[in-house]
Amino acid sequence: MRRTLVATTAVLMLTIAAPAIAEEAAQPNAERVAAARAAIKGLGGGLKEKLVAAMQSGGPISALDVCKLEAPKVTDTQSKSSGMTVGRTALKFRNPGNAPDDFEKRVMEKFVADIKGGADAMKLEHAEVVEKDGKKVFRYMKPIMTAGTPCLACHGGELKPEVSAKIKELYPEDHATGFAAGDMRGAFTVKQMIE
Ligand code: HEC
Taking only the tens place, the pLDDT of each residue in 90-130 is: 999 999 999 999 999 999 999 999 999 999 999 999 999 99
Give percent above pLDDT 70 in the chain: 87
47 inside domain: yes
CB atoms within 10 A of CB 64: 21
Q: Is the CB of 188 under 6 A from ligand 1?
A: no
**Residue whose CA is closest, atom 6 of ligand 1?**
151
- Judge whether 177 lies within some domain: yes
Ligand 1 centroid – CA 90 distance (Å): 10
Total of domains in the chain: 1
Q: Is the CB of 68 under 6 A from ligand 1?
A: yes
- Whether 10 is covered by a domain: the verdict is no
Classify residue 118 as left (phi > 0), alpha (psi -120 to 50) or beta: left
- Cα of 92 vs centre of ligand 1, distance in Å, is 11
Residue 4 lies in a domain: no
Give the pTM.
0.89
Q: For residue 79, give its domain range.
A: 26-194
- Does 93 sit in the ligand 1 pocket, CB within 6 Å? yes
Please report whether residue 1 resides in a domain.
no
